[in-house]
Structure 1
Amino acid sequence: MPNNQTRRLTQGAMMIALFAVLIAIAFYIPIINVIATVFALLPIAWFSAKYDRTTAIMVATIAVVITFFFGGVMIIPFSLIFAAIGVAIGDALRTKKSKLFLLMSSSLTLLFTFVIQYIISLRLFEFDFIKDSMKLMRDSYEQALTLSEQLTGKQIVTQEYLNALFDMMEMALPASITLAVFALAFILISVNLPILKRLGIEVPKFAAFKNMRLPRAILWYYLIVLIINLFVKPEIGTMLYVITLNFSFLLWVLFTLQGLSFIYFIIDEYMAPNFLKVLITLLAIPLLSFVILLGIIDLGFNLREFVKGKKQKK
């Protein structure tokens, strides 16, 4: 027991030191800061996967406090995000959850820490970094369009169109942030899990993308949103409009993934060349409406079973 306790304290201290170094590199050193950022959660995730939740949270908390001595208050939000997601990943691995659960818990942890920090930034420091970022982007677009008009003598985009575009982007921010958070969580998991496996941690695997199957309940959500848009027709800028816009955006992305998954299934089922997957993925952007429709039909009518049955008859 004393040996186990000593080992736990030693490993905890090592992970705290390694986490603090990675955070400091990610915060201060250009170029390699991208690599350090991706792997910053690794020490906390490894420790959390080996020891109980209470100890892991305590080590993560100490690690965040230690980073204060490297960068003061400004570094705390940055280190808190990676400490929290490290604990979430490690805890899911320790309790042997599925990779889907791992992705969901990590994404929700990332989203929760982001929201908390945004509220703190807004309430305590009166700093709205989302609004300031949107303003900076709008100013950059306007300057670029002004320069283009001066060089060509033609107005490419009207001010009204630009205002409408940015208003739409601002209203779709909740969905955009949610998707960005899930994408970031997926990248962090994909990069760090192979390393954790090499370090002796048992890690789950995702099912093949071609076998991806969304819950059919999503079709009901889509139907509700469609009915609201067709019959209620909420006015632009109202709360109902913002809600339906964000739900529509998220559902389009999910149906696009479902449609691509079905196409990948067809390619593998008929043993077509794998380069077609790359080509189809690139063509999914201009053919987005078709891919979304394919995803809806596959989810509603289970086209895969039809394809399998047709192939078996041959």
Structure 2
Amino acid sequence: MKSRLASIAWSITYLLLLLSLVTPFTFITVLLIMLPTTILYATLTTKSFVYHIVPVFLIVMIVMGSWSIFLPLYFLIPSIVMGHFYKKRASVLRTVMFGAGTILAEFLLLLLISTLFFDFNLAHTIENIVNTAATPFRSATGGSLATELKLSDQDTQQISTLTVQTIPFTLIITSLAMATITHAIARPTLASLGQITPKMMPLREWRLPRALIWYYCIVLLIELFGGSSAKEGFLGTVVLNLLPMLQFAFIIQSAGFFFYIAHTKKWNKGIPILLTVLMLFIRPLWLIGLFDIAFPLRDMITRSRR
């Protein structure tokens, strides 16, 4: 009875989330859109899952129109993938990575279909969006602020080119963020419903592969000495996306190092959180993560404690 009521409650929650897509809370809705369906698929049989989802989709189509079902269908597939791995009690890393990978694969598939069959050009679309957004600044006259914000055609072209080149990085980070947020809420929820799911390893125990340092050095050398080829074309796109992704990995490692020190030294739990937030404003702090991977800093701390 408890499980049945919980399923109905999550179906209603899913309906409310989808209806909120037309409100100013769209950004929050998209981040949470996979949660209800992931929990429903993980706790129900496939037949029962369909019985819960179909009425929600029908109500949304009646209220918001048939076009509104596209986004829920898009995120339904990665939800099913994550729910399937929860049923199999797979590791956290496997569940999150397959969920994020499914989101990314769907986008690439949609982009391929749109390009082949509908003559869609992503680069031109982004350029048009940037041109539209930049028009007020390009035509701005008078006033010091207007002068500073005035954009030339060349500036607009550079912005649109940079936006297109950084799409891979944006997609990967967004996919990982959505899958991680879904897992962070779904795991304790499933546990409360009596379904055992593996816990994520504490952040203080995370140790990223040392090979990341070599990748970072290679990409950095290409950027410094690769000339124009490292800033344009395919190689430029690779460098432009790999550098921030590697730095993001080092930020995660730095955060893990902060939590490790706090755990070892019995610090207040708020200290590592504060240090992690500071990394957003003091960018060189991510180098701590690089050194933590390259050198046995944690062993040194443990030995000094002894």
Note whether the superposition's TM-score is higher than 0.5.
yes
Aligned residue in 1 for 2:203: 209
Aligned residue in 2 for 1:185: 179
Report matched runs for 1:27-38 at 5 Å: 27=21, 29-31=22-24, 37=30
| Native 8 Å contact 2:251 2:289 kept in 1 | yes
The separation in 1 between residues aligned to 2:80 and 2:266, in whole angstroms, is 41
Helix, strand or coil at the partner of 1:59:
helix
Identity %, equivalent residues = 22
Moved more, 88-97 or 38-47: 38-47
Report matched runs for 1:58-73 at 5 Å: 59=50, 63=54, 66-67=57-58, 69-70=61-62
Report matched runs for 1:125-140 at 5 Å: 125-127=118-120, 132-133=125-126, 135-140=128-133
**What's the CA shift for 1:299?**
0.6
Relative to 1, partners in 2 of residues 1:155 and 1:69: Cα closer, same or farther, differing over 3 Å? Answer: closer
Relative to 1, partners in 2 of residues 1:98 and 1:170: Cα closer, same or farther, differing over 3 Å? Answer: same
Aligned residue in 2 for 1:248: 243
**Counterpart of 2:237 in structure 1: which amino acid?**
V
Helix, strand or coil at the partner of 1:96:
coil
After superposition, the C-alpha distances for 1:201-224 in whole angstroms (9 at most, x for unaligned) are 223222222222112222232233
**Counterpart of 2:78 in structure 1: which amino acid?**
I
Identify which of 79, 82, 87 aligns with 2:72.
79
Gaps in structure 1 of 5+ consecutive residues = 1-9
Relative to 1, partners in 2 of residues 1:30 and 1:130: Cα closer, same or farther, differing over 3 Å? Answer: farther
Aligned residue in 2 for 1:225: 219
The separation in 2 between residues aligned to 1:165 and 1:83, in whole angstroms, is 33
| Native 8 Å contact 1:252 1:292 kept in 2 | yes
Relative to 1, partners in 2 of residues 1:146 and 1:281: Cα closer, same or farther, differing over 3 Å? Answer: farther
Report matched runs for 1:1-314 at 5 Å: 21-22=15-16, 24-27=18-21, 29-31=22-24, 37=30, 40-50=33-43, 55=46, 59=50, 63=54, 66-67=57-58, 69-70=61-62, 74-127=67-120, 132-133=125-126, 135-141=128-134, 143-144=136-137, 147=140, 150-152=142-144, 155-156=147-148, 159=152, 160=154, 163-233=157-227, 234-288=229-283, 290-312=284-306
The separation in 1 between residues aligned to 2:95 and 2:104, in whole angstroms, is 14
TM-score, normalised to structure 1's length? 0.76
**What's the CA shift for 1:236?**
2.6
The separation in 1 between residues aligned to 2:78 and 2:47, in whole angstroms, is 12
Relative to 1, partners in 2 of residues 1:47 and 1:310: Cα closer, same or farther, differing over 3 Å? Answer: same
Moved more, 276-285 or 76-85: 276-285
The separation in 2 between residues aligned to 1:271 and 1:138, in whole angstroms, is 54
Relative to 1, partners in 2 of residues 1:239 and 1:205: Cα closer, same or farther, differing over 3 Å? Answer: same
**What's the CA shift for 1:130?**
7.1
The separation in 2 between residues aligned to 1:19 and 1:118, in whole angstroms, is 30
TM-score, normalised to structure 2's length? 0.78
Moved more, 17-26 or 179-188: 17-26
**What's the CA shift for 1:175?**
1.0
After superposition, the C-alpha distances for 1:2-37 in whole angstroms (9 at most, x for unaligned) are xxxxxxxx99x979975873565244x525666665
| Native 8 Å contact 1:57 1:87 kept in 2 | no
The separation in 2 between residues aligned to 1:141 and 1:89, in whole angstroms, is 40
The separation in 2 between residues aligned to 1:96 and 1:134, in whole angstroms, is 44
Gaps in structure 2 of 5+ consecutive residues = none
**Counterpart of 2:147 in structure 1: which amino acid?**
Q
**Counterpart of 1:306 in structure 2: which amino acid?**
M
| Native 8 Å contact 2:57 2:69 kept in 1 | no
**What's the CA shift for 1:79?**
1.7
Helix, strand or coil at the partner of 1:48:
helix
**What's the CA shift for 1:80?**
1.8
The separation in 1 between residues aligned to 2:107 and 2:213, in whole angstroms, is 29
**Counterpart of 2:215 in structure 1: which amino acid?**
Y
Moved more, 231-240 or 255-264: 231-240
**Counterpart of 2:252 in structure 1: which amino acid?**
L
